[in-house]
Structure 1
Amino acid sequence: MTFHSRRRFLGAAAAASALPAFVGEARAETANTGQPAVRLSPTVLRWLDGQPPARFEGATLGVPWPRGAMKPGAKPGQALRFAIAGEGGHLAVQSWPLAYWPDGSLKWTAHAVAGGRPAGYMTLQPGATPAAGTVSVKQGTSQVTVTSRDLVWTIPTSGAHLVTTASRGGRVTLRDLRLVALRQDGPEPEGAGTVTRQPFTSRTSRVTVEQTGPVRAVVKIDGTHTGHGRDWLPFSVRLYFYAGSDSVRIVHSFIYDGDPARDFIAGLGVTATVPLSDASHDRHVRFSGEGIGVWGEAVRPVTGLRRDPGQAWREAQIAGQALPPLAGMAKAVQDGLQWVPEWGDFSLSQPTPDGFTVRKRTGSGRAWIDSNAGTRTNGLAYVGGASGGVALGLKDFWQRAPTQLDVRRAASEAAELTAWLYSPNAPAMDMRSYRGLDGMDTHEKQIAGLNITYEDYEAGWDSSVGVARTSELQLWVLGGTPSHEAFSGMAEQVANPARLVVAPQRIHECGVFGDWDVARADTPARKMVEDWLTFQLDQYLVEREQHRWYGFWSYGDVMHAYDGDRHMWRYDIGGYAWDNSELSTDLWLWYSFLRTGRADIFKFAEAMTRHTGEVDVYHLGRFKGFGTRHGVQHWSDSSKQPRVSNAAYRRIYYFLTADERTGDLMRELLESDADLHKVDISRKLPPSAARETPSGLVNAAFGTMWGSLVAAWLAEWERTNDPRWRDKIVNGMESIGRLKRRWFAASAPYDPRTGKFSGPGEHVAISQLNGVFGVVEMSSELLTLVDVPAYRTAWLEYCRYYNAPVKELVGLLGKDPGGRAQEDSHSRLTAYAAWHERDRALALRAWRELLGNGGFLTRERTRRVDGPAVLRPLVEQPGIGTNGAAQRSLAAIQNLALVGGSLDEAMRAAGILR
């Protein structure tokens, strides 16, 4: 048994027959599973970026626990007792259950950590008394009041405002926080012509207090944008308040529900009124600049004048402090100060990812004056004075361009501060289809088009109605104008929020998320595989930048396939353009982070989760609950499937962060199988592939449909311990296991009411797509959570025979059904069977299947391409493709975890190692 370690073999041998050994190399278990416990490492909280941040506004993280190790002690939403010990004492923390094991023990806990001075080293301690927090919530019929130290936020339960007032030390520093939108009735005119714009503002329909402190309070506000006799653009906004913080975190989500032909979004923003009482020379505006840079000026400057006011006055204004008494100022400046213009309006516009401009003017109806410009900014603005002010920032500011920050009427009694999620100075957002019917008016013509452009086009199925987008903002209520240094730290917090995480080894020890292990390069063979995995990840980071995968709707996604002739990704060729989670790109990134703890991969995966769960999925209308296959636009392909809306692609992020919005998205999918009959996914297949389905049932593929739906049910069962979802999962597993051909039937009539498949299942069909949309990962987890012998038999059979030699497959099925492909990515099925059946020869076969493909380990050289052949110099990997990168990487990750001990032997046999 050289293909796995002695420790893993002994652990497997001790496993109960009904519950197979965990496939990772280290897993903590309890006696009720029959598996030996693994010593759990201390729960050390570390900063994602490696070092404490300059500023910490509070954060929330998820922490896993081995099965049976932590008794629940609380129901969902109830408090748990944990403490965080850091440098200088205990930190305030608020804890609650996030997920449960089947035995009711805690699987994941969530922990909100108070803001303040960040510690470099922290440990989480169960059962201890946490330090006290300072956040409290008072609920009334007309308003909710959140108090944190000297900050008081008033949130109305109805009306136009998210926050009516925010007071600091008894002074109202912010008023009327609200959402704004601009509707344009047509696209930008081409030549002559006009369009009109209409303003809309938020209207609250429901306020829900989700947490009440003492460290974190969360208030969810639902509503629509209203104006001109119409409600549209439904929104959901969460406000997060942390003890020790002067800010509120805002998570803003909206759904596009307009008519793409006439409802163009010309601006989408969050705005607040800032009362001003200081003299105009003591009022200040700040914008974040490039890097750590800051642009800061006064409404009425006293520097640069013909007459010098004196050093003390100049230094005070540059620092954002109140000027010394004017009586001591140079008399010429005293007498002439009234003639110095007051600058009331300021604007930072980021129209593209590569440039921003700063302008100002004295007021409405006056000319704008160019101030300065730069490339990329962190997206934070401030307006206020010595007695207080407000800062508002937008995460992913330049990545989501066109964006904008505006200050208006700073010379009046109240300024307006707006963060534009979509800039009103950019061309209006165009949600129409990029193409017309173009003669594809019959099924045959649509198939012909699919065969040339890989786009599954069908008129009316390329609608953007129902897609959504989530943005994150940070808003500070301050007692004075921040220094340039403090403001720079705030801007970094906006662009790169400080995150706490636990180490990969600590996560792995808990046995969560199936088959993976911690990255290590302790043998020559493992080093070769790890180097290849790193190379692929690094190249995609390069690709995002050099091909500018940015923009309001697109940031977070990657492209599908590359065109080496043009040195471009195939952005304009049907189904080869945006990837839309095809072949589990999201899982590749998340498992890569779990193994490595790399901050850049976490942020890459986070941006993808924010994109794919919102933009690539419909949240209302006839396609609600389904996602769109890869295409030129994120909604352009007519194939609407649960394989894209798959909760498996959001679940890891949810448990690592306890992010409520991601939790909402997974819950949206719980009943989506009831709508499978609305979207006939097989309608483009040849007639011979169609199958008769009894009334009330739908023909559902095991991998692309059931395997995608089961992820949402698993997440809900974990989150609530509600057996209803466990039962629905088990119904599907048992019924697949009862079919004559089990997994090799590929699909069967499915009843959404029960989650069961039916029919004899005697036909044989193999689809390479069945195993590449998360069902491999789901099956690995489910078989450690529930005891379904029939499904285990069916799955192990499929794993052993999918890549088996034709003779063996014919011996099992009586014929060769064809349809097998992607031998390398399916090698992880072979590895799974090898580990669970203790089969060394099968383990070596798994590595041959992966290593034998030319795309793996060849590490195709990159090359620099420059000159007139390309728009800009780039580093190109000519044969790159996201399907291969994602699936080969996932296969390598799972193979290392399952049969990594046989890798050196396999490489020597293949002549790769000597």
Structure 2
Amino acid sequence: MVLKLKWLKHKPKGRSGVSWGVPWERGILNREETLCLMDDNGKKTPIQSWPMAYWPDGTVKWTGHSAVFLANEQSYELTVGKTQIPESPLQVIDSENQIIVDTGEIQCIINKQGTNFIEEIVSDSKVIGNKGKLISIQEVRDETSGKKTIQEIPLESNIKDAIVEQNGSVKCVIKIDGEHETISSNHKQTWLPFQLRIYFYAGTSSIKMVHTFFYDGNPQTDFIKGLGMEFSIPLSGEAWNRHIRFAGDVGIYSEPAQLMLTRRHRNADGLYEKQISGEIVNLFDKQHQPLLEHVQQNAIWNDFKLTQDSADHYRIMKRTNNGYSWVESTHGTRAKGLIYAGGESGGIGIGVKNFWQKFPSTLEVIGLNRADTKLKIWFWSPDFEAMDLRHYSNETHVVSAYEGFDEMRATPYGIANTSEVFLQCYTVVPSHEELVEKAEEWQSPPLLVCEPTYYYETKALGVWSLPDTSHPIKAQLELELDKAISFYKCEIDQRRWYGFWNYGDVMHTYDSVRHQWRYDLGGFAWQNTELVPNIWLWYAFLRSGREDIFMMAEAMTRHTSEVDVYHFGEYAGLGSRHNVVHWGCGCKEARISMAGLHKYYYFLTTDERTRDLLIEVRDADQALANLDPMREFYPDHQYKTHARVGPDWAAFCSNWLSEWERTENTAYRDKISTGIEVLKQLPLRLLSGPNFGYNPVTNELLHMGDGNSGAYHMVIAFGGPQAWMELSQLLEDDEWDDMLVEFGEFYVLSEEEKLIRSNGILHDKLFSLPMLAAGMVAFAAAKKKDPSLAKKAWKLLLDEEISEMKLPIEEKEVKAWRHLTEVSTITTNTTSQWCLNTIIALELIGEYLSSDQHLSNNENIKLLNEMK
């Protein structure tokens, strides 16, 4: 058994720690077996491995891995064998008050209490950096008596707990929890809880940090003016040998604290050019005495900052000291998010992933020529206006603007935002080229992945197809799938869907009259996982292996799992439906936060923060006890709370499946079985309801009649079919499969047949938007091997009057306030569901498109012409 691995985009440029996950086919990998990693030459690479999920038979379903790589091999092989241990394993000492990590290249002291999460970083017996802490600024506004005053209150981190979360020979992870606290001792105030993970790899001089902050304020009064991280750097050397460097659009912008350029010495044997390139220059010999005298009269610039204030602009400024004016240095477009501050003996480089995409952000150094230089990174720049997390309106707009409820529940209390930070220690002054390579690597960290065919063969992530262009219609479908991805990839940039709170989300519905998305119209604005574009993007990546799609899916996962979801408070475990403001809709539901939207990222990258989110939602059904999703329809019903078969119970199934496969806790499998067994006993089985009473204590669906309020498209539009098809593979329950078949088949029956089979209860009006059911119909056709049912499934996808998906996708140029490219009929709901169902149908019933036995040539030609 040999598993081939390749780099997603690029191999490391130097020594780099990498973590990744791989799936295994059922029955292949036993839990007691160890794994080894070999390069192209058959040489073993030290690796650290652990199980991430299991199949029902107890064999391993997913494994996580960490290794340190050099800039050499393009691909690797993972196989069963004796694990190679590093010659100098990572060392971790966990004491009462501190955790000490020794990578062999650096030693880092981490505090378990206090302000500084990193006390100091040492390399070659020399302190490279220290006093690493989180910082924030609260803006307090007062507008009484007709005067507006603003007070800015600085806060810093207060550590509550720090633990060694993972400790191995290759990688260790330290998890820190705390909150921000005012610096003044007169009145202690705490807010903005945080979680910080710090990653170390054996033999490396770099550190990775994953920072999550949670909002726990009142949006009407508690404004965040700044949010960031600070380190102290004990630099050495003369002012002219201390440098600040920023990664700009393509290269490095470099300046010293004191210029060697003077009125009478313009380059001095090339020394000035060397200085700007970052080299260390000696001016204390006799030859350069005249130059030295002039240089020492030049101003010393202590403070520098690069502020990315939009997706298209950054500004670099500097000043001599506090109390003096900032001077503009230059402007640029999209900075690569790296800052280096160093002296004659090296320094520190820090990078922020998605720096310009998540503006407003700032990289700053204070006191470059002082004994204690401060290096700050701001996730939210204090040079920008404070975060405004208030709602956009004082009322809901349910009827006119597709908002969910008349109730005003537009609160950000409990939402979060996660950022990734990288730190590199330099004991030797780095070149510009080294910093450029590091900046590019940090924006797209190296990741090992499998070939799409391998992911497909393991069946570890549900039902999806590999690309197939063997038949004209299949080729056209693949082209349309590619065009859909390309459109949204370009649209993200064209419409500037960027920013700290927005990056990763896309808009819901287009307005071709304004040539603008309906960003200001209630439920038509931000998508917020509606109709699961996340799953579409992850399937698109799995079947293609494309790095650009991975980045889109990664950004969407980071955003929708943090910003659109409540992590504590009254809505904990639930998420907010689509709205002008991400957290604005009165609908707070489990379908937005369900595990099946986000687990792909966890399994592919081993990201611990995403694992936290999967754990958070495992008991999301308990939130229904306080917030009934069907409260509008059953305000005084006999049951306290309710659940629809989908999206509510389907989302719970997704959550429980995730917990069961990751932990083997069969209690969560039994929760799924409880609902299934209830449905089995009902005359209409999965077609029952679709609304039920729900008991969060027993996880029971409580039957309250069939054909009741709601519609069956809600059952299948939010990831339910994907969770249920995956359960079909795991439960091996023939009756459950038959229930899925029955549901799919029923959706495309004539009204007369629906009424007959349901004893007059179910009718066509309950089964709207049939394209959304194409995957379920395809499942039924595949299980029954029914050509006529397969044709109905394909008709749902290819008949524009049914699908509401205009094919082919055609972009056109328009001249509005600027030149734009648009698809005038586009909606993300339709596009994501059409793509998702097409990917599933190609797997389950693709044969019925290409076989004359099942579809005549004339019908093939007709379908192809319809698409053209």
* TM superposition score normalised by structure 1: 0.90
The 5 Å alignment of 1:62-461 reads 62-73=21-32, 80-87=34-41, 89-132=43-86, 134-186=89-141, 193-227=148-182, 228-291=187-250, 293-303=251-261, 306-308=264-266, 310-311=268-269, 313-324=271-282, 326-437=284-395, 449-458=397-406, 460-461=408-409
Cα displacement (A) at 1:244 = 3.7
SS in 2 for 1:177: strand
**Cα distance in 1 between the residues matched to 2:691 and 2:263:** 79
Secondary structure of 1:643's counterpart equals helix
Equivalent AA in structure 2 for residue 54 of structure 1: K
Letter in 1 for 2:153: Q
State how far apart, in whole Å, the 2-side matches of 1:510 and 1:88 are: 25
Partner of 2:561: 613
Q: Secondary structure at the match of 1:825?
A: helix
**Does the Cα contact within 8 Å between 2:45 and 2:67 map onto a contact in 1?**
yes
Instruction: Give yes or no for the alignment of 1:858 onto 2:858.
Output: no
CA distance in 1, matches of 2:726, 2:646: 15
User: 2:432 corresponds to which letter in structure 1?
Assistant: H
Distance 1:215 1:908, change over 3 A: farther
Q: CA deviation at 1:435?
A: 0.9
2:420 pairs with 1:498: no
CA contact (8 A) 1:56 1:118 kept: no
1:47 corresponds to 2:7: yes
* RMSD, aligned CA: 2.1
Shift of 1:743: 1.6
- Is 1:515 aligned to 2:457, yes or no? no
- Report Cα offsets for 1:175-227 as digits up to 9, x if no partner: 11110000001399999522101001001111111112311110000000011
Deviation digits for residues 205-258 of structure 1 (CA, Å, limit 9, x no counterpart): 111111123111100000000114111100000001122432111100011001
CA contact under 8 A between 1:384 and 1:480: conserved in structure 2? Answer: no
* Distance in 2, Cα, partners of 1:891 & 1:900: 12
Distance, in Å, in 2 between the alignment partners of 1:594 and 1:237 is: 30
Report 1:705-724 matches (<5 A): 705-724=648-667
- Report whether the alignment pairs 1:880 with 2:790: no
Identity among equivalent positions (%) equals 35
Partner of 1:899: 845
Report the counterpart of residue 909 of structure 1 in structure 2.
859
3-state SS of 2:742 partner: helix
SS of 1:196's partner is strand
Q: Deviations over 1:558-581 (max 9, x none)?
A: 000000000000000000000000
What is the rounded CA distance, in whole Å, between the counterparts of 1:594 and 1:691 in structure 2? 46
How far apart, CA to CA, are the structure 2 residues paired with 1:563 and 1:762?
Answer: 38
Between 1 and 2, higher relative CO (CA 8 Å, sep ≥ 6) is seen in: 1
Find out whether 1:624 has 2:572 as its counterpart.
Answer: yes
Equivalent residue, structure 1, for 2:789:
842
The 1-side partners of 2:778 and 2:286 are apart by 82
Contact 2:234 2:371 in 1 (8 A): yes
* 1:786-801 paired onto structure 2 within 5 Å: 786-801=731-746
Tell me what 2:613 maps to: 665
Q: Distance in 1 between matches of 2:513 and 2:204?
A: 53
Contact between 1:166 and 1:175, CA under 8 Å: does it hold in 2? Answer: yes
* Bigger Cα displacement from structure 2, 87-96 vs 543-552: 87-96
Residues 1:726 and 1:301: Cα distance change in structure 2 (over 3 Å): same
Question: 5+ residue gaps in structure 2?
Answer: none
Further displaced range: 508-517 or 412-421: 508-517
Mark the CA change 1:774 to 1:150 in structure 2 (over 3 Å): closer, same or farther: same
Distance 1:630 1:794 in 2: 31
* Aligned 8 A contact 1:641 1:705 in 2: yes
Taking the TM superposition and a 5 Å limit, the aligned residue runs for 1:731-770 are 731-745=674-688, 746-759=690-703, 761-762=705-706, 766-770=711-715
Deviation of 1:750 after TM superposition, in Å, equals: 2.2
Which amino acid is the alignment partner of residue 727 of structure 1?
D
1:60 equivalent in structure 2? 19
Question: Within 2, Cα distance between the matches of 1:126 and 1:330?
Answer: 64
Q: Distance in 1 between matches of 2:262 and 2:484?
A: 53
Distance of 1:841 and 1:491 partners within structure 2: 55
Contact 1:827 1:847 in 2 (8 A): yes
Among 781, 797, 801, the alignment partner of 2:726 is 781
1:574 is aligned to: 522
AA partner of residue 539 (structure 1) = F
The amino acid of 2:237's aligned partner reads D
Q: Secondary structure at the match of 1:474?
A: strand
Q: Which amino acid in the other structure matches residue 909 of structure 1?
A: E
Letter in 1 for 2:581: Q
Is contact 1:736-1:791 (8 Å) kept?
no
1:771 pairs with one of 705, 713, 716: 716
Give the TM-score normalised by structure 2: 0.95
CA distance in structure 2 between the aligned counterparts of 1:886 and 1:570, rounded to whole angstroms = 17
| Per-residue deviation, 1:708 | 0.7
Equivalent residues of 1:135, 1:148 under 8 A apart: yes
Contact 1:733 1:788 in 2 (8 A): no
> CA shift at 1:354, angstroms?
0.6
Judge which range, 520-529 or 323-332, deviates more: 323-332
Q: How many residues align?
A: 849
Q: Output the CA distance in 1 between the equivalents of 2:12 and 2:806.
A: 38
Aligned-pair CA distance for 1:790: 3.8
> Counterparts of 1:753 and 1:835 in 2: how far apart (Å)?
37
Residue aligned with 2:102, SS:
strand
Moved more, 214-223 or 766-775: 766-775
1:120-168, Cα deviation, whole Å (9 max, x unpaired) = 1211122233251642211100100111113000001111011000001
Contact 2:629 2:642 in 1 (8 A): no
Q: 1:9: which partner in 2?
A: none
Q: Which runs of 5+ in 1 are unaligned?
A: 1-39, 75-79, 438-445
Q: Cα–Cα, structure 1 residues 134 and 187, in superposed 2: closer, same or farther, change >3 Å?
A: farther
Task: Specify the alignment match of 1:32 in structure 2.
Answer: none
Describe the SS at the equivalent of 2:133: strand
The CA distance in 1 between the partners of 2:745 and 2:485, in whole Å, is 29
